[in-house]
A and B are shown apart, each in its own frame.
Chain A
Amino acid sequence: MSSPIQLQPDETFVLNVGPQHPATHGVLRVKMEMHGEYIVNSETVIGYIHRMHEKMGENKTYPQFLMNLSRMDYLGALGYSHGHVLVVEKASGIEVPKRAEYIRAIMVELNRISSHLFWFGAFVMDLGGFSPLMYALQDREHILDMLEAVTGSRLTYCYFRFGGLYNDIDDDFIDAARRFIPRMRKSLIKYEKLVTGNIIFRKRLEGNAFLSKETCRKYGASSAVARGSGINFDVRKNEPYSVYPEFDFDVPVYHECDSLARYMVRMDEIEQSLRIIEQGLDKLPDGPIMPAKKPKLIKPPAGDYYQAVETARGSFGVRLVSDGTKTPYRLKLRSPTFSNMHLFDETCRGMMIMDALAFMGSLDLVIPEIDR
Chain B
Amino acid sequence: MVTYFSDIYNGLISLFIGMGVTFKEFFKPTVTVQYPYETLTMTDKYRGHVELIENDEGKPNCVVCGLCARACPSGCITLAGEKPEGAKKKALTKYVLDFTRCSLCGSCVESCNFNALEFSKEYNLASTRKEDFIFDLLQRLEERNK
Residues on A lying within 8 angstroms of B by beta carbon are: 60, 63-68, 71, 131, 135, 138, 141, 148-153, 156, 158, 166-167, 190, 193-195, 197-200
Contact = CB atoms under 8 A, between A and B. Distances in A.
Nearest to A64: B73
A145 to B, nearest CB: 8
Interface of B: 7, 10-12, 14-15, 17-18, 20-22, 25, 31, 43-47, 71-73, 103-107, 110, 119
A193 B17 contact: yes
A195 B47 CA distance: 37
Contacts of B7: 199
A198 B22 contact: no
A148 B47 CA distance: 9
Contacts of B11: 199-200
A64 B105 CA distance: 9
A162 to B, nearest CB: 12
A131 B28 CA distance: 14
B18 A198 contact: yes
Contacts of A68: 73
A71 B74 CA distance: 14
B103 A148 contact: no
Given A64-B72, A197-B18, 4 more contacts: A66-B105, A152-B43, A166-B110, A194-B21
In this complex, which of A68, A156, A197, A199 has the most chain B Cβ atoms within 10 angstroms of its Cβ?
A199
Contacts of A150: 45
25 contacts: A60-B73, A63-B107, A64-B72, A64-B73, A65-B73, A67-B103, A68-B73, A131-B25, A148-B46, A149-B44, A150-B45, A152-B47, A153-B104, A158-B106, A167-B45, A193-B17, A193-B18, A193-B20, A193-B21, A194-B17, A194-B18, A197-B18, A198-B14, A198-B18, A199-B7
Contact of A63 (B43, B46, B71): B71
B106 A138 contact: no
A353 B52 CA distance: 56
B25 A198 contact: no
The 10 A-B residue pairs whose C-beta atoms are closest, nearest first, are A199-B11, A152-B47, A67-B105, A64-B73, A152-B45, A194-B21, A149-B43, A199-B14, A197-B14, A158-B105
Contacts of A158: 104-106
B28 to A, nearest CB: 9
A64 B21 contact: no
Nearest to B12: A199
B10 A199 contact: yes
A9 B44 CA distance: 66
A235 B63 CA distance: 47
Contact of A149 (B25, B45, B107, B119): B45
A166 B106 contact: yes
A130 to B, nearest CB: 11
B40 to A, nearest CB: 9
A198 B15 contact: yes
B69 to A, nearest CB: 12
A190 to B, nearest CB: 6
Contact of B73 (A67, A152, A167): A67
Given A66-B105, A158-B106, A190 B21 contact: yes
B15 to A, nearest CB: 7
B35 to A, nearest CB: 14
B125 to A, nearest CB: 14
Nearest to B103: A67
A152 B46 contact: yes
A200 to B, nearest CB: 8
B25 A148 contact: no
A109 B43 CA distance: 22
Contacts of B106: 152, 158, 166
